[in-house]
Amino acid sequence: MARRFIVDQKDIRYFSKEENIMEIRGKEVRHIQVLRYDVNNMIIVNEYVCKIKQMHSSSIVLEIISEAKKQGEPNINLTLYIALLKGEKMDLVIQKAVELGAKTIIPFISVNTIVKLDEKGKIKRKDKLQIIANEACKQCGRTDLVEIKDIISLEKDILFNLKDHSLNIFAYENEKIKESLHDTLEYAKKKEYKNISIIVGPEGGFDFEEAKLIKQLDKVKCVSLGSRVLRAETAVIDLISIVMYELDN
């Protein structure tokens, strides 16, 4: 199977849709050159099998031959809302969420988030996380793309976005009355939900008022992950694994 490269849409220019000719730029061009690919070699760019037509110093012209055979793509649309974690913890969460089947990842900042970023810092961090997601897609053989959305605010943005999902699974360790995760997933199976989100907080957990706002929303199920308090990165891996095992069929 041809090797896959993931190119940002802003680095793709179509010469002719009818003739299926496109030009790519950006960091993957250098990657392809380093690997000594040449004219007439076959590669996969995003979702397309392509033949190299021309090699230039900063760009490559490709002929689209066909769509790549789908592989590793989940059957449910799982969105992960994850509070921005410190350094390598966040990198690990992105990598494992992609491997386990998350389709979209939305980092957010809440009251107890330790990481503080200005607008420029948010853009830089988001771009780095997208690179990690792309590499994880290639490593685990997924032919779809996992999108890292802009880093947003919990109160201003997430509470509005949750209505777009059929079900939102909220992992909150301080809630005394929680629904069984098993029962929640059985309910999702019965309803045949395919658009689901999970919400995991920062190292310090959710602020009481934040949690209260989330729990009051429609389509939110507050669940327990057991009697032991898990680290945020562990909770993500645990929750995605269980959700995908039960619903990705």
Architecture of domain 77-247: 3-Layer(aba) Sandwich (3.40)
Confidence of residue 1 (pLDDT cuts 50, 70, 90): low
Look up the pTM and report it.
Answer: 0.84
Nearest-5° angle of CA 134, CA 135, CA 136?
90
Pick the CATH number of 4-67 from 3.30.43.10, 2.60.40.10, 3.90.340.10, 2.40.240.20: 2.40.240.20
Return the domain boundaries, the chain.
4-67, 77-247
Confidence of residue 19 (pLDDT cuts 50, 70, 90): confident
Confidence of residue 249 (pLDDT cuts 50, 70, 90): low
Q: What is the pLDDT of residues 142-153, one digit of tens each?
A: 888 899 999 998
Q: Do domains 4-67 and 77-247 have the same CATH topology?
A: no
